[in-house]
Amino acid sequence: MLIIKAHQMKKGEKRTKVLVPDSAHGTNLATAKMCGYRVVELKSNPKGQVDLKLLEEALDKDVAAFMLTNPNTLGLFEENVVRISEMVHRVGGLLYLDGANINAIMGYARPRDMGFDVVHPNLHNTFSTPHGRCCPGSGPIFVTEELEPYLPVPVVERRGGHYALDYDRPLSIGRVKAFYGNFNVLVKALAYILAMGAEGLKQASFDA
């Protein structure tokens, strides 16, 4: 959410509101509030999905983002997600995916095709790493090319035949954690992905 805020401030926009459905991952409200936003919670429709009418009524030029969990905490896939994306983008807002349940769609659907601008996958839910709190958690994010300049530093990049840390990113939101975070958790997630392979990951989603 800090990346979204920095991007919109760079454009001269001072948006103050974030929309969150009542079926979203519980941490979303806290995340938005910690970034200084006013949170507006939207009640789900009788099918347990986003109520498009309520969303339409809540959308205006003050909306910074819509934070969506898909599948949601009821275990339901938001069948209108592309329509939701179009509605949010029409007022200049961005669509944020809380990836708490993407282990159910991994290998079958791509968040970018649904219109998401920011994706926060939960490595402990999807890629067999330890949970957060007392254990070493890790929360990587994926963003569109438009938001890439705002990623936290340092950013790992490949230079010739080796890797290096890039700190020279004037639009970056800066560091979000001391040192380099829980790097070992990222290595474990990568090992899991390589061990499972594309078909194995797809099977894991099918089993989920």
CA distance 25 to 139: 14
Residue environment code for 61-74, b if the CB has 16+ CB neighbours within 10 A, otherwise e: ebbbbbbbbbbbbe
pTM to 2 decimals?
Answer: 0.91
In tens, the pLDDT along 145-190 reads: 999 999 999 999 999 899 999 999 999 999 987 767 778 888 999 9
Residue 17 lies in a domain: yes
Instruction: Say which range, 40-44, 100-104, 124-128, 194-198, has the weakest mean pLDDT.
Output: 124-128
User: Does a structural domain hold residue 189?
Assistant: no
**8 part of a folded domain:** yes
Residue type, 20: V
For residue 179, CA distances in Å to 8, 163, 176 come to 28, 17, 10
User: pLDDT tier at 26 (50, 70, 90 boundaries)?
Assistant: confident
Segment 111-124 shows an average pLDDT of 93
Look at 194 and 121; give whichever has higher pLDDT: 194
Structure-token pair, residue 8:
């919109």
Please count the structural domains in the chain: 1
> Residue 52: what pLDDT?
98
Instruction: CATH number of the domain at 165, please.
Output: 3.40.640.10
d(CA 156, CA 27): 28
Domain that holds residue 34: 2-121+139-181
Per-residue burial over 7-45, b = 16 or more CB atoms within 10 Å of its CB, e = otherwise: bbeeeeeebebbbbbebbbeebbebbeeeebeebebebb
